[in-house]
Structure formats: C-alpha cells, structure tokens
Homo-oligomer: A and B are copies of this chain.
Amino acid sequence: MAEQRTRRTKQSVNREVLESRILRSAEIIFAAKGFSGASMERIAEIAKISKQNLIYYFPNKDLLYKRVLKEILDIWIEKLSLLESDGATPETVIRHYVREKMQLSRLYPNGSKVFAHEIISGAPVLKDYLISHLKPQFDRDVAVVKSWINKGLIEDIDPEHLFFTIWAATQTYADFSIQMEVLLDKKTLDQADFERAENAVTEFVVRALGAKK
C-alpha cells in the first residue's frame, strides 16, 4: 500500500517536496535580485530551511541557478513549437502560439524574469543550451513560416523577426509587469488585464501576419 514502483519512502517524497519548494524560492529571489544579488541565506529563508540545509540539497549557488534556468527553458521549449499544431491554418496556429506564450508569462513570471536577467547579461551560462536546444527548434519554426509564405497563405513577412516580436511582446507581460502596473495604475495585473493583453497582442500579430482567408 505504502509501496510503489519507485520506492516512495517518507524521505524520497519529502525530498521532492523540499526540492521543488527550494526551486520555487530560488526563482523568486533570482528574479528579484539577479544571480549575484541573490543570497543563499535569503533563498533558504524563503524556503523555510537553514542555509546549511539548502546547501545540502544544492551544493552551490551556480548549480541552483542552473536548475532554475533549465527548468523554465525546458517548459518553454516543450510548449512552444509551431509543429505541434499541424494541419491547421496559419492564423489558428499563430493564435494558439501567442496564447501559449502568454500563459507562460502569466504562470511563470519569476522563471521568465530569471531567464531575462540571464539573457540580458549575455547568457553566460545559457548560451550553449540556446545553441543546442533552442536554435534547432527556431530553425524548424522559421521553416514552417517560410512554407506558409511560399504557399501564399500569409504575406511575405520576415519570419525570424516575427518570432522575435512575438516573444518580446508576450514576455514583456512577465518581465516588465511593474512598469505596466505603474502605467495602468494597478496594484497587480489581474486576470482581466492578461485577457486584454492577450487579445491585443494576438490581434496585432495576426494582422502583422496578413493571413489570407
């Protein structure tokens, strides 16, 4: 009863719980302070464990940082591919894509911020991973858009920069949320704001695409 295939002991369960609590806490602090500004002490505090115990689970700060980064990037790469939704029209595919990306901004604002800090800083730890994992998918997705253009399904737009624009326009709702809160006079961006944002961005992108019905 208490036994499962992968030996779910009290310890192993606890370990999983704690690890993800630590990762969540680290995400918060790295997002707010950047890599250097984040202290292990503070991360431990948020995770409600001692610093020494934190170090027991993640022997050093770099490792913890890498785990947080890899986690968010994996989610993105997994969720974001034009190829997933095959057969549909460009417009529906892109609408789906924008919605997905927007939801990632809403669901993982901290991971998104950590990623942004990292990229702005020149991707010192993530560069290789971008080359090996992101670029291949990017190339495939660009190819898809090019094929749409060749088939005359959409205007002759710039595929690479289309993606850059979509990414920027969606990611900004995670990264620059403070600025928006100030400008929209809101304590925090709520569900309704995100819906407005999603609609606005989706419409912009669809028009940019110039999809032919």
A interface residue numbers (CB < 8 A to B): 31-37, 113, 116-117, 119-123, 127, 130-131, 134-135, 138, 157-158, 160-162, 164-165, 167-169, 171-173, 175-176, 178-180, 182-184, 196-197, 199-201, 203-205, 207-208, 210
Contacts and interface: CB of A to CB of B under 8 A. Distances in A.
Given A120-B175, A175-B120, A204-B204, A184 B169 contact: no
A165 B120 contact: no
A127 B169 contact: no
A210 B200 CA distance: 13
How many copies the complex holds: the figure is 2
A62 to B, nearest CB: 13
Given A161-B196, A207-B210, 9 more contacts: A32-B121, A37-B121, A130-B183, A157-B204, A158-B200, A164-B173, A164-B180, A204-B204, A204-B208
A32 B197 CA distance: 30
A183 B126 CA distance: 13
A135 B181 CA distance: 10
